[in-house]
């Protein structure tokens, strides 16, 4: 338990692993060359480090090293994959298929292409667990479809999609398949060959590496994928992504990938066990709580829970120390988690992902996302259980709705008086 409290927001970002930091440090001052400087040893050393990292990331996902393109992060990777395909293959078609629960980096890119008239986009619905229907996907593909973009593991509810089946379907239909694999790449096995993935987005800071660096896998063979660049100037990264490479960050991402590959089996099992302990502790002591996302096919560190009759933001503030009902609680270590609501303008809007799963607005406003990671312990989990149970009970004691529900009153039939 750190001095700042318990960190359980590992889907937002992860702390840099000390082993990653140690690998990066020499490349700030000792080996500081530009990897594109090929006329002296300073550049040669930097280039060697970059190529080693390329190998490390490639091994994590079963790819060829030459197919890894460095970017500034997964948002850029998503943009490059989607916009790059649409622009390069515009003579073949203009249709993209994705799903309504994708990350905003995919959804906003698709909407930009729609507004600019460059593409038409089909947004597939998902079932109550957040899984896309393969039959619906097949029906959505037309002779104008260039690309299908479906994420690996959802960043809010943790649901994992049937990526191998989706990839096979796309391959059979002659359509390129892009997968945003940011969530879960460090904990769940990925193989671009076995899963028929043609483009895949990765981010260092979601696998205990530094922020500001990512990668895009771009298949070069069987089939070869071509992209139009979205950043111009110098022709770096096989002409797909110009710009001086962030050598320390790339070294860090490579080391993070290497560690993830080596520790994946044990780490996944340990984190999944912690997640189950958290689930059992919360669901065993509280009523009217609901799991969001798939009960089995989900990210091992993700637990998204709706606490009925409790405002999610109030629970969040109670856990992170923003508000306390009792003065004695002010000394309790805070807990960093995420709410299922996003602050937009002056109102709190329910998560679009939860709405897509069919979660009602009332329940969507009560959701909390717990993201467990490498540095969480059983002690952390037990403390979080204790605090969550206490805060939910405290807030429900203040809720007339909870009292009415306990008395058996169907709140859906209550005629509320309006002034």
What's the rounded Cα separation, in Å, for the pair 222 and 277?
A: 44
Both tokens of residue 290? 């609901």
Which is nearest to 353 in space by CA: 304, 282, 297?
304
What's the rounded Cα separation, in Å, for the pair 27 and 46?
A: 8
From 160, 170, 196, 343, active-site residue: 343
Output the CA torsion sign for 16, 22, 23, 29.
positive
What's the rounded Cα separation, in Å, for the pair 325 and 56?
A: 49
Instruction: Mark whether 343 is an active-site residue.
Output: yes
What's the rounded Cα separation, in Å, for the pair 233 and 245?
A: 13
Query: Quick check: 191 and 61 in contact, CB under 8 A?
Result: yes
Both tokens of residue 304? 């998204």
60-63 contacts, C-beta under 8 A, 24 or more apart: 60/185, 60/190, 60/257, 60/258, 60/260, 60/261, 61/181, 61/185, 61/190, 61/191, 61/192, 61/200, 61/202, 61/217, 62/190, 62/191, 62/192, 62/193, 62/194, 63/192, 63/193, 63/217
The catalytic residues are 343
């Amino acid at each position: 338990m750190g001095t700042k409290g318990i960190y359980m927001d590992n889907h937002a970002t992860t702390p840099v692993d000390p082993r990653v930091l140690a690998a990066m440090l020499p490349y700030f001052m000792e080996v500081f060359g530009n990897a594109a400087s090929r006329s002296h040893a300073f550049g040669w050393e930097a280039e060697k480090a970059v190529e080693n990292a390329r190998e490390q990331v490639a091994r994590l996902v079963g790819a060829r090293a030459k197919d890894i393109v460095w970017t500034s992060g997964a948002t850029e990777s998503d943009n490059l994959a989607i916009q790059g395909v649409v622009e390069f293959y515009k003579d073949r078609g203009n249709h993209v298929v994705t799903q309504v629960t994708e990350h905003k980096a995919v959804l906003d890119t698709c909407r930009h292409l729609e507004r600019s008239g460059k593409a038409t986009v089909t947004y597939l619905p998902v079932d109550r667990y957040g899984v896309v229907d393969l039959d619906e996907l097949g029906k959505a593909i037309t002779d104008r479809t260039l690309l299908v973009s479906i994420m690996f593991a959802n960043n809010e509810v943790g649901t994992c999609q049937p990526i191998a089946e989706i990839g096979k379907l796309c391959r059979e239909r002659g359509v390129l398949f892009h997968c945003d694999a940011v969530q879960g790449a460090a904990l769940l096995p990925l193989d671009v060959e076995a899963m028929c993935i043609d483009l895949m987005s990765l981010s260092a800071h979601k696998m205990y590496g530094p922020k500001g660096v990512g990668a895009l896998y771009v298949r070069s063979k069987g089939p070869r994928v071509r992209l139009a660049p979205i950043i111009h100037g110098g022709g770096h990264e096989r002409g797909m992504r110009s710009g001086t490479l962030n050598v320390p960050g790339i070294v860090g991402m490579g080391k993070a990938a290497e560690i993830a590959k080596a520790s994946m089996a044990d780490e996944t099992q340990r984190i999944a066990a912690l997640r189950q302990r958290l689930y059992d502790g919360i669901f065993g002591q509280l009523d009217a709580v609901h799991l969001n996302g798939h009960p089995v096919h989900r990210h091992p560190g993700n637990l998204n829970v709706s606490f009925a009759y409790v405002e999610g933001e109030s629970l969040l503030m109670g856990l992170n120390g923003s508000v306390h009902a009792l003065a004695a609680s002010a000394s309790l270590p805070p807990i960093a988690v995420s709410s299922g609501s996003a602050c937009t303008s002056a109102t709190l809007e329910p998560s679009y992902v939860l709405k897509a799963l069919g979660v009602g607005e009332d329940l969507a406003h009560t959701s909390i996302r717990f993201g467990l990671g490498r540095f969480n312990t059983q002690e952390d989990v037990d403390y979080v259980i204790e605090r969550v149970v206490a805060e939910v009970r405290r807030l429900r004691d203040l809720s007339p709705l909870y009292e009415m529900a306990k008395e058996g009153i169907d709140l859906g039939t209550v005629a509320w008086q309006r002034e």
